[in-house]
Amino acid sequence: VRTPRRSNQRTRIADELARLDTFISAQGLHFRLRLAGEQISLSTVYRTLHLLADLGRLDCVREPGGERLYRHRPGSQHRHYLTCRHCGLTLVVDATVIEEWAEQLRIVAGFAHLEHAVELSGVCGECGSETPEQSLK
């Protein structure tokens, strides 16, 4: 048997992620799909998330606990996020300065296909008023 079913499952996984429009773990996404009656294995969810990441269809951030969270990326342009280390709140940030700087650097250095990864984390206003800052390295 060829793999139309598997590609169909991938579509379901991608659709569910797009519908959510928030960060979710692979387990969380798997749980939602199972609730919706989908017979999809967790390993298929993982494989599909990696595939979508390779295709630039999603954004990935790392939780303070080390778990990866995934979110559908609406455009082809990648985005940068500001994450609260305490509660996991994640905001999309305007990274125009970073994009322009990286592009200039690319031209000056004569590189092609330059990639970058910028992760910003801190303590959000709500968490900061409750707990003193702890520096996490």
Query: Rule CB under 5 A: which residues touch Zn ion?
Result: 84, 86-87, 89, 124, 127
Residue 39 or 115: the one with the smaller Cβ distance to Zn ion is 115
- Distance in Å, CB of 102 to Zn ion, minimum: 6
Largest CA distance in the chain: 58
Tell me how far apart the alpha carbons of residues 60 and 53 are, in angstroms, rounded to a whole number: 8
Residue 36 or 87: the one with the smaller Cβ distance to Zn ion is 87
- Distance in Å, CB of 34 to Zn ion, minimum: 29
Residue 16 or 59: the one with the smaller Cβ distance to Zn ion is 59
Tell me how far apart the alpha carbons of residues 77 and 49 are, in angstroms, rounded to a whole number: 17
- Distance in Å, CB of 68 to Zn ion, minimum: 18
- Distance in Å, CB of 101 to Zn ion, minimum: 10
Residue 37 or 125: the one with the smaller Cβ distance to Zn ion is 125
